[in-house]
A and B are shown apart, each in its own frame.
Chain A
Amino acid sequence: MPGASSRLIAIACGTAGLAGFFALWQVIGHYQLAGLSWPPLTAVLQYLFDPDRHALFLRAIDATLRSTIAGYLIGALTGIGLASIAYTLPMLQRGSDRFAAVVNSIPSIALGPIFLILISREATPAGVASIHVFFIVYVSMNSGLASTSQAHEDLFSALGSSRLKRFLRLNFPSAVPAIASGLRLSWPAALIGAIIGEWFGAPRGIGILIINSMQNFQINLLWSAVLLAAMASLFFFGMLTLVERAAYRRFR
């Protein structure tokens, strides 16, 4: 079977690429080709999985993930809500597009102080994360709604459907795959938002570890925190990819 063997080759190549990447990381770190700030992979892993630091890392990732998930949910619901309103009230559409673009363009580091005053130190990471997610989900849902086929629109018109029914039974389901894509893509953005939000005085979190270790030359801690954030991102990203696939299978 040529399909199976080419798939095997692809997996082998991909694994080789990843292995090469990690090997390069190790070699550069081991021979200090990039100076003292680039530790070998093994040193970082050793540091990260040292039982003495389990509590430290667990507390940090727990706080960051809580903020990320809260912001993610709020942002996704707001994005879906605004996109739905703008679609059903077309006179608001262009203004709400611009509103979303402007809100998204406020630099994340400037959002921090605003949320600090608006809500609280503890809730700021979730607030910044929610803004990132809001925009991606809003834009994805808009393009999903616009992808409703003309034949379906005609069918609903000829059958005398009301606007609300048309939205609920046609436009929204048509947009589900695009929304799922937006939900997948916005996860890393949510994590970035939470990490930046933590820089503004959150009591704990990965962002705090990153910024403190950067300023205090704790190189292994810095790399461990970043690696941990990357792993958390990848894990949820993978899960959301499965959700997205299911949405495409179900709604296409």
Chain B
Amino acid sequence: MADGETLGKRSLKPLLQAALILLMGAVLGGGFNALRPNGLPWVRTSSLPTEEGSAPPMGMYEAWAAFQKGTVLFVDARSSSEYAAGHLPGAVNLQVDQGQQAVAGFRPPEGRDLVVYCSDPACTKSSELAALLSSRGIKRLRIMHEGWAGWFEAGLPFEESGP
């Protein structure tokens, strides 16, 4: 039967093995990432949909108040058909599905925050578009996570068709 010393070694063994697996994962992952053409930068430069990221969230009502003061421009990341069916007041449509082409000709207005949104709280197009815009050096980005669905259900004003 195991005495104190071997018992200590026994409980240490899984930890050492786990550390070895983690270390090998880090070496392989880091090495593979460095070699592959579409590897990630170690530090994420584009904006994040995190609270700490360069595109922090803006609540729906805060966004509406800011719009009335004229300090924000809404940016719709959805498809053109969704945009035409209804969008936030004055919103411009930058279809993130079209990639760089969507933002190629876009010039952000001076002195206004860009409030990016997509269909609902689950959608990721707003984060993707914010990352795309951020990668082109555009600052003052905010994301409205409630999206079109939240805005519409809250009964806030909206526009149909045409920009």
A, B assembled together: no
